[in-house]
Amino acid sequence: METVVRRATRHDERHLFRLARAAPTLIPPDFSMFRHAFESILADLSSVLFVAEADGQLVGYLSGYRHITFYAAGYLGWVDELFVSAHARNLGIGRGLMRQFESWASHRDCVLVGLATSHASAFYERLGYTSNADYYKKYLRPMTSQTDPSPLG
């Protein structure tokens, strides 16, 4: 299986939407919210969206950004989302997406890369990451199911 990791383009939108809907989340994105996020990420110079293609099909993605922090004494690269389709796991695709992000962050003067995970600790530890904090969240809006139909039918 030949795999290519590259920056996402507008042409990836519908295929990436399918992947994002397959990712484990409490509220799968509807298409209008996905489109807004997708276009915002592509337009934001502090953000990046990488996709992994295997045999011409999108099988994974990574969304991240950089921001300045006090505790890192500089810029931090933050991985928001990393997802690889179940049928394409354990083939080095997640590792390739992370390496691409690390290179992107390094070229933008990031001191470190951070992320939160609840199910993939062993994966990140194999890549040299260490855990030093818990991740907390609080929803600021009621969680509701999305009603915007998918344009994919």
CB within 8 A of 86, min separation 6: which ones? Answer: none
pLDDT score for 134:
73
**Domains of the chain from N-terminus onward:** 3-126 (3.40.630.30)
pLDDT, mean of residues 109-126: 92
pLDDT score for 151:
53
| Euclidean distance between CA atoms 85 and 53, whole angstroms | 11
Edge-first strand listing for the sheet containing 74-84: 3-7, 47-54, 57-69, 74-84, 110-115
**Global confidence as pTM:** 0.88
